Amino acid sequence: MSSITGKTAWVTGAGSGIGRATAVALAKEGADVVLSGRRKAQLDETARVVEKQGGRATIEVLDIVDAAAVEAAARRIHDRFGRLDVLINNAGTNILERAWSSLNPARVDEILGVNLNGAFYCVLASLPFMRAQKDGLIINIASMAGKRVSPMSGPGYTAAKHAVVAMSDSINMEEFANGIRSCAICPGEVATPILDRRPVPVSDEDRAKMLQPEDLAETVIFVASLPRHVCISEILLAPTWNRGYAAALQGPISTRVRRNPLEG
């Protein structure tokens, strides 16, 4: 495994959930971590957690739907550290309207703006620095919704995450000669604040069985610690207690699946 010590890592959506856990984990491994998000108070809290662990954190308050602001932030990061080694495209959101019958253009713009356009803007802003140093890693926190279509995630989120997975793969196709690798991490349900935007509330009991932000952070560390000549293009991970499987077993197939095989 390679060392992350001394590398510059930019984490979007770093104010909570997966972003916060990932930033803390990267800092523990010795990276200089740049925290981005819209809410400074949340970023300040993440920075305090990082610093309590003996790590180093810099804050870049940023709304990633603003392409010019993203480009300016990337340049400030490079000016400060002299390089940009790792981009963690983590910022994301979902909306309550998760059926075509309830969608409208404004809500479509909101969900695609954060989950897709913002990810593109961060990649576009980072690539010139990574090309110049002939080295770089982009980790896109996608979703199982980027691999499978489900009414639970809604058409907007599902379409955006499918596009992010494709975007990540296209980076590998075009930028491998520049030493740049991209990985799409596609988790199933994760116990983060985004669950609060579900139309159907999720119980504390179910949240405890889900993937936790720290699980995703460990996955990021694994990918970031691999040697430069290794590219993992995609990772799928899910909680052992899978609510999708549990729901499927309540359907007509349940009697067939649960039947004692000795009964013939």
Question: In sequence order, which residues have a C-beta less than 8 Å from that of residue 170 and are 6 or more positions away?
Answer: none
Structure tokens at 164: 């992010």
Told to judge if 157 belongs to the known catalytic residues of this protein, a careful annotator would answer yes
Cα separation values, 116 from 64, 121, 172, 183, 229, Å:
10, 9, 18, 15, 28
Spot the catalytic one: 157, 158, 163, 183.
Answer: 157
Do residues 151 and 210 make contact, with C-beta atoms less than 8 angstroms apart? no
Active site residue ranges? 157
